[in-house]
Chains A and B, each alone.
Chain A
Amino acid sequence: MLIAVDGLTRTYDLGEAKVHALRGVDLAVEAGEYLAIMGPSGSGKSTLMHILGCLDTPSTGRYVLGGEEVSSLTGRELAKVRNRRIGFVFQNFNLLPRIDLVANVALPLVYHGSVSKAERLGRAAKQLEELGLGHRLKHRPNELSGGERQRAAIARALINEPSILLADEPTGNLDSKTGREIMDILDGLSAAGKTVCLVTHDANVAEHAGRTVHMQDGAIAREDFS
């Protein structure tokens, strides 16, 4: 079991009002699974993804990632988990605008700490080549198309060989043709054994996954298998 989530709740305290973003989520994800989390905005799917990605911590409940209880880790330990075990792909790519692609992709290795600069750049270049961006290494993100940027972002997410790839609306900012290309890459990664978790409100995207979790009002409403 790669991910085991038990009775997860997340409450935002906004002074007078309390917002219950998650109201008790139980979820288990096997290694190698291709999962989609679906739901309308406000359903809690983003909050769940943030907790799964260790960017946020649950108010109550347990989250075990790869056998390690992460709901009780300190900020620094969570940073380490994000760095080594989780790869993020964002809707708006989130590449750093002032550095070139190789540097962007190598950035997680920088925070990893023990990788030499030459090795970092070498691995980043190799990762970019695998995703068909070998000719763009020294380009800045704003010199690239949306599809190329998202491919670079995937390269960055994969550079530390994470145990799970979290993709938040990965095709949301792309036209349908480029979106299909990105989904092909994610399908390929899944086929190669990578655990992939999509977060989306788009049924066409979700149907790529083998299992779809539908969220409603901070809880899992139902699950589909395809």
Chain B
Amino acid sequence: MNLLESVGAGLRDMGSNKGRSVITMIGIVLGVASVVAVLSLMQGGQAQTEAYFEELGGLREIRITNQRTNRIFMTAAERASERLTYRDAQAIRFECPSVSYVDPEISRYLTVSYKDKTFQMRVLGTTADYVFADSMPVAEGRFITDRDLDTYANVIMMGPTYRDDLFGDEDWRGKQVLVEGIPFTVVGIMEKKEFYFRGGGGERNVLEWFNRGHYIPITTMIRRFTVDDQLGGLEISAKTVELVPTLMEETRTVLSRRHGVEDFDLASKSEQVQQRAEQEAFFNIIFWVIAFISLFVGGVVIANIMLSSITERIREIGVRKAIGASSRDVFIEFLVEALVVTSVGGAVGLGVGYGLVKLMETALIMPMAFSPSILVLAFLTSVAVGIIFGMFPALRAARLDPVEALRYQ
């Protein structure tokens, strides 16, 4: 019997026994639907994480931080190190060929006042590279320039959140604010930065932190408000994503030489994306377990129902063998029958899974991604279940002794 006809016979058989077929398929339908949902959730989470880091400056970035040290057990070399400084940042900029932006930061909470209004605000000393490195677009005016840095200029770039608080309806242009009593000229306003994680976090803007910061040249910050040039943070970015490992090595060399000891940590954004994806994969385990159990139960139900249908059909198997069916023919017929049931169940499961994805997307606000590869993979799972769980009943049918089978009442 050729395969196509076996499939046709299987479909007819399902049609003639609808109740049984529906029960048989439920497990497979749910299992495949869960697989679709899990895969969509995983892809959606991955895509969202990547989008988040892209918003934070992309995957080319490397964050350099001071290593935590225990002061009591510090070695002499560690004591001698000045830790990360603005001079380190400049050394990286000039000595590392793979670097494109260097973004050193020193932040302080400073008193900023305009007319009768006074606020304690986070002020960031930084360089012209900041807007590129952290992909922080300027909304109005201009950002800090290299010239500002060279001249220790008293200029300030303001975050959008405090603009209304300070200036109200007034135009900010040409205005001066007092930072710790020293007049600074406002040169621009940053664009509002927003990112909302779907699901869990709700409608909180996780990047609001950035909207509350103000920026002055790092040289001005060092000269006027700090005692040394130790950095709060240092982010650099490679010219391309591929150059990230190279840049990490170059940076390690330069800083080790300057510090005399490796008292800093390097972390690339792509590593962070990876870590986050791994965390999410762990949380998805619960869905995998559900999918696995559904598929397993579905498979067991199929095996069970096939075994009972074989008992009903023992005589039929005997007759088929008597008129020339080999054990192999019988095996293939029963396996194809299982495959037809699981494939139809799998197809229905794809539909249900798609509905589930849409439901989770709208009702639970989960990040979901839906792609053809998910459909293919989920469908193949149902086929695999058909083969695995159809195998045993089909083997049993094939091994029936024709004489015994014909005698069976």
Contact = CB atoms under 8 A, between A and B. Distances in A.
Interface of A: 50, 53, 55-56, 75-76, 79-80, 82-84, 88, 90, 94-96, 98, 107-108, 110-112, 117, 156, 160
Given A56-B403, A90-B406, A107 B320 contact: yes
Contact of B323 (A76, A88, A98): A88
Nearest to B407: A46
Given A94-B406, A98-B16, A110-B1, A53 B327 contact: no
Contact of A96 (B316, B324, B329): B316
**Which of the listed residues B324, B326, B328 has the most CB atoms from chain A within 10 Å of its own CB?**
B324
Interface residues of B, number: 21
B7 to A, nearest CB: 14
22 contacts: A55-B322, A56-B403, A75-B327, A76-B328, A79-B321, A79-B329, A80-B324, A82-B323, A83-B323, A83-B325, A84-B324, A94-B318, A94-B319, A94-B322, A94-B406, A96-B316, A108-B323, A108-B324, A111-B324, A111-B329, A112-B324, A156-B323
B324 A83 contact: yes
A55 B319 CA distance: 11
Nearest to A108: B323
Given A90-B406, A98-B13, A111-B329, A53 B319 contact: no
Given A55-B402, A55-B403, A80-B324, 14 more contacts: A50-B403, A53-B322, A55-B322, A55-B406, A79-B321, A83-B324, A83-B325, A90-B319, A94-B315, A94-B319, A108-B324, A111-B323, A111-B329, A117-B5
A53 B318 CA distance: 13
**Which of the listed residues B13, B323, B327 has the most CB atoms from chain A within 10 Å of its own CB?**
B323
A88 B322 contact: yes
The secondary-structure label for the interface of chain B is helix
The secondary-structure label for the interface of chain A is helix
A82 B329 CA distance: 14
A117 B406 CA distance: 27
Contacts of B402: 55-56
A111 B322 contact: no
Contacts, number: 62
A-B pairs, 6 with minimum CB distance: A83-B324, A79-B326, A111-B324, A108-B323, A94-B319, A55-B402
Interface of B: 1, 5, 13, 16, 315-316, 318-329, 402-403, 406
Nearest to B327: A75
Given A96-B319, A111-B1, A75 B326 contact: yes
Contacts of B319: 90, 94-96
Contacts of B318: 94
Contacts of B327: 75-76, 79
A117 B3 CA distance: 13
Contacts of B324: 79-80, 82-84, 108, 111-112, 160
**Which of the listed residues A55, A56, A79, A84 has the most CB atoms from chain B within 10 Å of its own CB?**
A79
Contacts of B13: 98
A20 to B, nearest CB: 17
Nearest to A112: B324
Contact of B321 (A55, A90, A95): A55
Contacts of B16: 98
Nearest to B402: A55
A79 B323 CA distance: 8
A107 B318 CA distance: 13
Nearest to A92: B315
B93 to A, nearest CB: 78
Contact of B322 (A82, A95, A110, A112): A82
Nearest to B328: A76
B333 to A, nearest CB: 10
A112 B326 CA distance: 10
A55 B403 CA distance: 6
Contacts of A96: 316, 319-320
